[in-house]
């Protein structure tokens, strides 16, 4: 099924062979998977999608694993919900929430880890390791359990309780680290040298992004192949933005969409906003954000590896980068819950808060079609929301 031709470095464009185990390019750049889209285009069409599975694997011809290796728990095909009451409140007439909280393990990380673990199976990898702010760990633990391979997980000690309990329940080896995801990443790198683990860190392996790009395919399909004017995305490692941006280019090459692109809005938090700072300064890369802190744990990424790709997508799209405070995002999340019946993750809630700001500032107009990505379920963040509801 797979139509992969090779992997290509996103920094130096050097090609690497498909079907081999890869982490970063020798220059340190993340590798991106390339497909024979001209051939795919002749044998597959968007009209045939409905015959595929009701999961992200309906896009299998543009995903790396062969059918026999796929490890699936039903990820993808999440609801795209029209949120008219919130829209009326903030002054947006055509507002939608893509609710990724309904994925296995309650976050969009399921997409990336389903794809990465499938490829680990295909390449014969038996032990995987991951540094995670929380949800990537839960997803990897689940898919590693489903695949019957060993998972080693490193998370900050103050990770949400749900992530810790899930990883333990799925039978992973869990280490809580006094530090941030960047500290966890250093431990994983060292362990990969000494323990024979395969490093599944964001963008340090080439396949999580391929799973995440299906958010872009799916949005286009759900919107009848007309992309929205604006996409809000809560940006930690930024793989969702980079992946969707890649998906848009691929779909254009397949003849499924035209050249129009949504304005990509990268949303961060005041306590950790390296991408916003780089965007405002007009710089191509971000600087490490010191003392990163926020209740939106998925956004606590002080220095995204793919920062240059995030910034390029945001700039080319005519979008922007914006930060909100923890108080603002919790307020916005609770407002959305009461207005619409959607209990979303603080990361998604940050986008709701950012939306109101960009409408007020005039950056966005009320008649634009706007999609907010809610990347996780509010149920995974009971600590963060409980502060508002003492018993």
Ligand X SMILES: *Cc1c(COP(=O)(O)O)cnc(C)c1O
Residues in touch with Zn ion (CB under 5 A): 9, 11-12, 14, 25, 27, 29
Sort residue 341 into left (φ over 0), alpha (ψ -120 to 50) or beta: left
Nearest to 74 by CA among 103, 97, 46: 103
Q: Measuring CA to CA, which residue among 73, 82, 58, 69 is closest to residue 103? A: 73
- Any contact of residue 238 with ligand X (CB under 6 A)? yes
Beta-bridge mates of residue 151:
128
Report how far apart, in Å, the C-alpha atoms of 257 and of each of 4, 80, 150, 367 are: 21, 19, 40, 22
- What is the helix (H) or strand (E) element at residue 192, kind and residue range? helix 181-195
Q: Which is nearer to ligand X, 59 or 233 (CB)?
A: 233
Q: Are strands 320-324 and 15-16 parallel, antiparallel or unpaired?
A: unpaired
Here's the x/- map for ligand X, 119-158, by CB under 6 A: it reads as ----------------xx----------------------
109 binds ligand X (CB under 6 A): yes
Complex with Zn ion: residue 25 or 86, whichever CB lies closer: 25
Binding to ligand X in span 291-350, by CB under 6 A: 298, 345, 347
Binding part of the chain for ligand X, among 25-33, 167-175, 234-242, 316-324 by CB under 6 A, reads 234-242
Phi, psi dihedral angles at 182 (to 5 degrees): -65, -35
78 binds, among Zn ion, ligand X, none (CB under 5 to 8 A by kind): none
Stretch that binds ligand X, among 31-39, 153-161, 233-241, 363-371 (CB under 6 A): 233-241
Nearer to ligand X, 72 or 107 (CB): 107
Nearest-approach distance from CB 119 to ligand X, in angstroms: 18
Token representation of residue 378: 């509010």
For the record, the structure tokens of 271 come out as: 């306590």
Q: How far is the CB of 323 from ligand X (least distance, A)?
A: 14
Judged by CB under 6 A, the residue of 2, 10, 105, 107 near ligand X is 107
11 binds, among Zn ion, ligand X, none (CB under 5 to 8 A by kind): Zn ion
Of 138, 185, 149, 167, the residue nearest 288 (C-alpha): 185
Sheet holding 173-177, edge to edge: 173-177, 150-156, 127-131, 198-199
CB of 178 to ligand X, least distance (A): 21
Give the one entry of Zn ion, ligand X, none that residue 14 binds, where binding means its C-beta sits below a cut-off of 5 to 8 angstroms depending on kind.
Zn ion
Regarding 240 and contact with ligand X (CB under 6 A), the answer is yes
């Amino acid at each position: 099924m797979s139509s992969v031709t090779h992997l290509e470095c996103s920094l130096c464009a050097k090609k690497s062979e498909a079907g081999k185990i890869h982490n970063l390019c020798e220059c340190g750049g993340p590798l991106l998977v390339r497909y024979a889209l001209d051939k795919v285009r002749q044998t597959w069409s968007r009209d045939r999608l409905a015959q595929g599975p009701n999961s992200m694997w309906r896009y299998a011809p543009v995903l790396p694993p062969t059918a026999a290796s796929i490890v699936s728990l039903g990820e993808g095909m999440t609801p795209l919900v029209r949120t008219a009451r919130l829209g009326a409140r903030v002054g947006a007439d055509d507002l939608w929430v893509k609710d990724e909280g309904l994925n296995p393990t309650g976050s969009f990380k399921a997409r990336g880890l389903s794809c990465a673990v499938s490829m680990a199976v295909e390449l014969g990898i038996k032990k995987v390791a991951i540094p995670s702010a929380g949800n990537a760990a839960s997803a990897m633990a689940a898919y590693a359990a489903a695949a019957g391979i060993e998972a080693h997980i490193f998370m900050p000690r103050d990770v949400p309780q749900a992530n810790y309990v899930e990883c333990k329940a799925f039978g992973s080896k869990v280490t809580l680290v006094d530090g941030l995801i960047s500290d966890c990443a250093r431990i994983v790198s060292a362990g990969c040298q000494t323990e024979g683990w395969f490093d599944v860190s964001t963008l340090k392996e080439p396949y999580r992004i391929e799973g995440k790009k299906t958010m872009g395919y799916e949005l286009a399909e759900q919107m009848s192949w007309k992309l929205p004017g604006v996409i809000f995305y809560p940006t930690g490692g930024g793989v969702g933005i980079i992946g969707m941006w890649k998906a848009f280019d691929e779909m254009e090459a397949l003849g499924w969409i035209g050249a129009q692109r949504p304005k990509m809005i990268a949303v961060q938090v005041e306590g950790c906003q390296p991408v916003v700072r780089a965007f405002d300064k007009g710089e191509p890369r971000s600087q490490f954000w010191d003392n990163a802190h926020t209740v939106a744990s998925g956004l606590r990424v002080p220095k995204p590896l793919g920062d240059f790709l995030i910034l390029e997508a945001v700039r080319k799209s005519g979008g922007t980068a914006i930060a909100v405070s923890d108080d603002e995002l919790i307020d916005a999340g609770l407002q959305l819950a009461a207005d619409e019946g959607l209990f979303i993750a603080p990361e998604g809630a940050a986008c709701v808060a950012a939306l109101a700001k960009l409408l007020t500032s005039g950056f966005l107009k009320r008649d634009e079609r706007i999609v907010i990505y809610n990347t996780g379920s509010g149920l995974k963040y009971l600590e963060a929301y409980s502060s508002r509801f003492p018993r």
